[in-house]
């Protein structure tokens, strides 16, 4: 005769026993998991919550078709950090978690996530969050940092006529102790006071596109190819970071300046580097190029 151990009762047949389990407050059955029987409702809910066979929101007592649907439900209805698997009592707590956790690169003011700490740092240093207190010594345009002033000059957007070649010539003349430049650039001959300019012609056409003979990238027009060749892409990396265990190299002064401002290494602690970088703009203004 069928018998219920938990309730200490006998039943006339197995169907009667099953009906008892289905209706009794002492039995809580998971029908999806071989009729697992739990003595309490909380035990059953804990099983649903912890088992990989279920996609269950214990807060709402609701089942979902799969884990992705459940996570979408968490995102839409609860203060939930998907990457950390944590819930918070309100949106403020969730945002504070994003701000403090090393697993997140989060700007609380903009409510934006970034892929890396460096991306977040650059965002926080952008004009969105920083005042434009750095002024171009030529045209008076304002920027958030000195590196942006140098980039403005290198790109030839300043009415003064400065461009990347002019900036390089100033640095070469002024940085006589090679604080921010590599002296080995002078070993290949010449004065080190010239930039190499690459120019392409119709011979660069490969039958389908204009091809760069240095890197094999292709372009739809000869003008686009020559713009590529005029960029810093194939210029000598003679700017160098003197930070301990760094030695990163850059083709442009703005690239080095941005690296220093990002504080990726300790080079900003070197007085000689700070003095050299702070004086470069003054030297640019003082020199005339022919």
Instruction: Please list the pLDDT of the chain residue by residue as tens digits (290 residues).
Output: 788 878 878 888 888 878 877 778 788 888 888 788 888 888 888 899 888 889 999 889 899 999 999 999 999 999 999 889 899 999 999 999 998 998 999 998 899 999 998 889 888 888 888 888 888 888 999 998 889 999 999 988 999 888 888 898 888 888 888 889 988 754 444 444 556 678 889 989 999 999 998 889 999 999 988 888 878 788 888 899 988 889 899 999 999 998 988 887 878 778 888 788 877 777 776 654 43
Burial class of residue 123 (count of CB atoms within 10 Å of its CB; 0-12, 13-18, 19+): middle
Residues 6+ apart with CB under 8 A from 125: 144, 145, 261, 262
Instruction: Give Cβ neighbours of residue 225 (< 8 Å, ≥ 6 apart).
Output: 200, 204, 210, 211, 212, 219
**The pLDDT value given to residue 208:** 92
Report the pLDDT value the prediction gives residue 114, as an integer from 0 to 100. 92
267 domain residue, yes or no: yes
| Residue 170 lies inside a defined structural domain of this protein | yes
Q: 167 in a domain, yes or no?
A: yes
Q: Give me the half-sphere count of Cα atoms (radius 13 Å) on the Cβ side of residue 11.
A: 14
Residues in contact with 167: Cβ distance below 8 Å, sequence separation at least 6, in sequence order: 150, 153, 154, 252, 253, 284
- What's the rounded Cα separation, in Å, for the pair 7 and 257? 78
Q: Which residues of 163-200 are buried (b: 16+ CB within 10 A; e: fewer)?
A: bbebbbbbbbebbeeebbbeeebeeeeeebeeeeebeb
Query: In the numeric block, which tokens belong to residue 17?
Result: 């026993």
In a domain, 24, yes or no: no
Residue ranges making up the domain that contains 258: 134-196+235-286
- How many angstroms separate the CA atoms of 252 and 240, rounded? 10
**Residue 240 lies inside a defined structural domain of this protein:** yes
Total domain count for the chain?
Answer: 1
Nearest to 126 by CA among 260, 258, 253: 258
Rg (CA), the chain: 33
- List the structure tokens of 40: 């309490």
Q: What are phi and psi of 225, to 5 degrees?
A: -65, -45
113 - beta bridge partners? 106
* 64 lies in some domain: no
pLDDT at 189: 40
- Asked if residue 18 belongs to a domain, the reply is no
Contact 27, 16 (CB under 8 A): no
DSSP-assigned states of every residue in 61-97: TEE-SSHHHHHHHHHHHSEEETTTTEEESSHHHHHHH
Q: Assess if residue 176 is contained within a domain.
A: yes
**Cβ-Cβ contacts under 8 Å for 38 (sequence gap 6 or more):** 27, 28, 29, 30, 44, 47
């Amino acid at each position: 005769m069928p018998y219920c151990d938990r309730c200490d009762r006998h039943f006339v047949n197995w169907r009667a026993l099953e009906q008892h389990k289905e209706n009794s407050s002492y039995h809580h059955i998971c029908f999806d998991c071989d009729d697992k029987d739990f003595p309490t409702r909380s035990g059953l809910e804990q099983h649903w919550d912890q088992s990989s066979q279920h996609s269950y929101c214990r807060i709402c007592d609701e089942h979902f078709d799969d884990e992705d649907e459940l996570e979408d439900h968490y995102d839409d209805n609860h203060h939930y950090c998907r990457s950390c698997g944590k819930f918070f009592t309100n949106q403020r707590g969730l945002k504070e978690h994003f701000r403090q956790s090393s697993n997140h690169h989060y700007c609380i003011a903009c409510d934006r996530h970034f892929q890396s700490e460096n991306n977040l740092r650059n965002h926080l240093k952008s004009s969105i969050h920083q005042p434009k207190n750095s002024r171009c010594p030529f045209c008076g345009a304002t920027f958030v940092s000195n590196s942006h002033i140098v980039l403005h000059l290198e790109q030839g957007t300043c009415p003064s006529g400065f461009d990347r070649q002019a900036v390089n010539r100033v640095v070469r003349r002024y940085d006589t102790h090679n604080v921010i430049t590599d002296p080995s650039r002078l070993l290949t001959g010449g004065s080190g006071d010239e930039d190499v300019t690459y120019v392409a012609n119709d011979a660069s056409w490969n039958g389908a596109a204009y091809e760069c003979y240095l890197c094999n990238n292709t372009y739809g027009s000869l003008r686009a190819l020559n713009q590529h060749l005029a960029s810093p892409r194939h210029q000598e990396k003679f700017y160098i970071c003197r930070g301990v265990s760094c030695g990163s190299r850059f083709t442009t002064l703005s690239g080095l300046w941005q690296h220093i401002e990002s504080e990726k290494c300790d080079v900003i602690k070197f007085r000689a580097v700070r003095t050299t970088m702070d004086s470069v703009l003054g030297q640019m203004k003082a020199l005339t190029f022919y």
